[in-house]
Chains A and B, each alone.
Chain A
Amino acid sequence: MSKHVLKPLFSLVALLGLLALCLGVSTTAVAQTERIVPKAENFLFFVDHSGSMAMSAPSESKSSLAARHDPNKQEKIEVTKEVLKAINNDIPDITFTAGLYTYGPFQEYIGPSPYAKDRLNQGFDGLKTQYDIFGRLTPMGLGLKSLDAVVGSLSQRRAVILVTDGESNIGPKPLPVVQDMYAKYGDNICFHVISFAQTAAEKALVEQIAAINPCTVSADVKDLLDDGKRADFVRKVFYDVEIIPAAPVVQPAPPAPVEEVIVFRNVNFDFDKYNIKPEFAPLLKEAAEIIKARPGKRVVVDGHTCNIGPAVYNMGLSERRASSVRSFLVNEGVPADRITTQGFGLTQPRFDNNTREGRSLNRRVEIRFE
């Protein structure tokens, strides 16, 4: 006897692989990805460009008699430009509105516009150094009031990165101006500080500004010359890192259970018949051989009917059909204690009882292996 398939057979390995792919899946581990989210929609750099910033950067000396200005050292404004460009370089690829302003005098170098690294660097490059400091006082409070007009023109969250040496020696005091701006804009504004403060008074002003709102990130300019500390500053000022759970990693679930069953529909199970005619003996003999080839398995013979006729009568009919098949199988040598029978009547239609085809398919006996 030749066994035929309607389509080419797969190798066993390929078939198992295909089965694994076709079967249902279950989720197990969840991979994660990160997303950078800006902390504000608007970042304004506000740089002290007064006479004090043209003096040398803070020395390492703790002595109160140490010179405030050493012509052999870099000016604060020169260090400012260097640090701001390094910060600009550290800012990741995020979208926000950027601006660059100074005070002492108040001047717009870059008006609020979409952030572009090169453009901001050009703005920093444009900050003059080695300028005449005579009469160039530090109006921080007045500068902040002028900046308020710019801040007010922006929508959503604003961050002001204030570069200051802690001096404010003309005009309104800066602390009340900052407090007023926090009161005006609430959670939509935060002042950050890059400090050149040296004296106790200068440091006190910086600390007072930082203390108004816990959102403030404050850093000493010397620290921002360190790559790691600067990266940390940028991370705290400019963005948050969100963890996004990725799509669950799916793995093949255990294979769905497969039961084995022999089905008879045509052993003369016409309407209201349960006896087996002799010409159908070869079918049941074949079934007996299949059963005997599986000696370890118990066998259940289930009888089913279509939905024509009363339910009670169909139940009895299905039991009689199952019993007829069992008797034949036992006569063919299948041990009687291996076979049990069940009648289901019309209660388990596998096929559509609304069609003649479906009803004929429902009139069946199934031999299940357990």
Chain B
Amino acid sequence: MIAVLLLAVPLPSAASGFDTLPASSQTIYVEQQFALFSQNWIEKIDRNFHSRIGNVEFVNNGAGYVGRYMQVDRDSVAWSVKQTSIGPGNFIGILEYTEWTYESVADTQTAAALGPFVPVHGRKVTEIFQYHANRWLE
């Protein structure tokens, strides 16, 4: 079953870091699952921001209008899987990414909607996930 899954899902490419222990087949499988989980999680974050592309927030600040939305910088996304010391097969997944808040300022809401939107604030987020019962917990 695991072998079939290994063939079906391509191995993620490693760009940095180093291996301290040879990865077991189970570890590879768990990593592959977390790679897919991470992609889906980032998609979920992006489509659920309170202010997002497609649902830009406009605020009248008295001097004009501020258009605002948030978005994950896809180039910033990185993940890793660690085996914990509590029992065999216990893993945690660490997902890192940067959220940017973009703003556009103009006299009218219509003009603010036209942009340009510039990044005004960033958040470097680290999310830590638990692996339990053969799946990553949201």
Interface residues of A (CB under 8 A from B): 1-10, 22-25, 256-266, 279-283, 285-287, 290, 349-353, 355, 357-358, 360-361
Contacts and interface: CB of A to CB of B under 8 A. Distances in A.
6 closest A-B pairs (Cβ-Cβ)?
A24-B118, A3-B17, A258-B122, A282-B84, A3-B80, A358-B48
10 contacts: A1-B19, A1-B80, A2-B80, A3-B80, A4-B80, A7-B74, A7-B77, A260-B126, A262-B125, A262-B128
Interface residues of B, number: 54
Contacts of A349: 50
Nearest to A368: B123
B123 A1 contact: no
A282 B86 contact: yes
A361 B122 contact: no
Interface in B84-138: 84, 86, 90, 92, 94, 98, 100, 118-130, 132, 137-138
Contacts of B64: none
B45 A9 contact: no
A338 to B, nearest CB: 18
Contacts of B84: 282, 285
Nearest to B79: A4
Given A2-B18, A3-B17, A279-B132, A262 B126 contact: yes
Contacts of B98: 258
Nearest to A277: B130
Residues of A contacting B: mostly: mixed
A237 to B, nearest CB: 44
B35 interface: yes
Interface string B3-35: 000000000111111111001000000010001
A23 B130 contact: no
Interface of B: 12-20, 23, 31, 35, 38-39, 42, 44-45, 47-50, 55, 70, 74-75, 77-82, 84, 86, 90, 92, 94, 98, 100, 118-130, 132, 137-138
Nearest to A283: B128
Contacts of B130: 266, 279-280, 282-283
A262 to B, nearest CB: 5
Contacts of A261: 123-126
Nearest to A4: B12
B11 to A, nearest CB: 10
A22 B130 CA distance: 34
B49 A2 contact: no
B15 A281 contact: no
A260 B55 CA distance: 26
Contact of B75 (A3, A7, A280): A7
Given A256-B120, A261-B125, A357 B48 contact: yes
B24 to A, nearest CB: 13
B124 A260 contact: yes
Contacts of A6: 35, 38-39, 42, 74, 77-79
A3 B42 CA distance: 17
A8 B15 contact: yes
Contacts of B35: 4, 6
B48 A4 contact: no
A283 B138 CA distance: 12
